[in-house]
Amino acid sequence: MDDSQAVDPRLRWWAAMKRAFHVPERESDGNAQAAIVRAVIRDSGGFFDIDEIVAGSAMVDATLDLASAGELDRLLTIDESLYPSGAMGGLDAAYNHARNLGWPDVTDQHTLLNLREVSDHLIGKVINSEREGPPRSP
Three-state secondary structure along 39-58?
HHHHHHCCCCCCCHHHHHHH
Question: In angstroms, rounded to a whole number, what is the distance separating the alpha carbons of residues 20 and 124?
Answer: 9
Average pLDDT over residues 75-83: 61
Interior angle at CA 43, CA 41 and CA 49, nearest 5: 40
| pLDDT number for residue 131 | 87
Q: Say if residues 71 and 10 touch (Cβ distance below 8 Å).
A: no
Question: What's the whole-number average pLDDT of the chain?
Answer: 84
| Per-residue pLDDT tens digits for 24-75 | 989 999 999 999 999 998 988 877 678 889 999 999 999 999 889 888 887 7
Question: In angstroms, rounded to a whole number, what is the distance separating the alpha carbons of residues 132 and 94?
Answer: 21
Q: What percent of the chain has pLDDT over 90?
A: 33
| Per-residue pLDDT tens digits for 7-37 | 788 999 999 999 999 999 899 999 999 999 9
pTM: 0.84
Question: Count of CB atoms within 10 A of residue 29's CB?
Answer: 9
Q: Say if residues 71 and 93 touch (Cβ distance below 8 Å).
A: yes
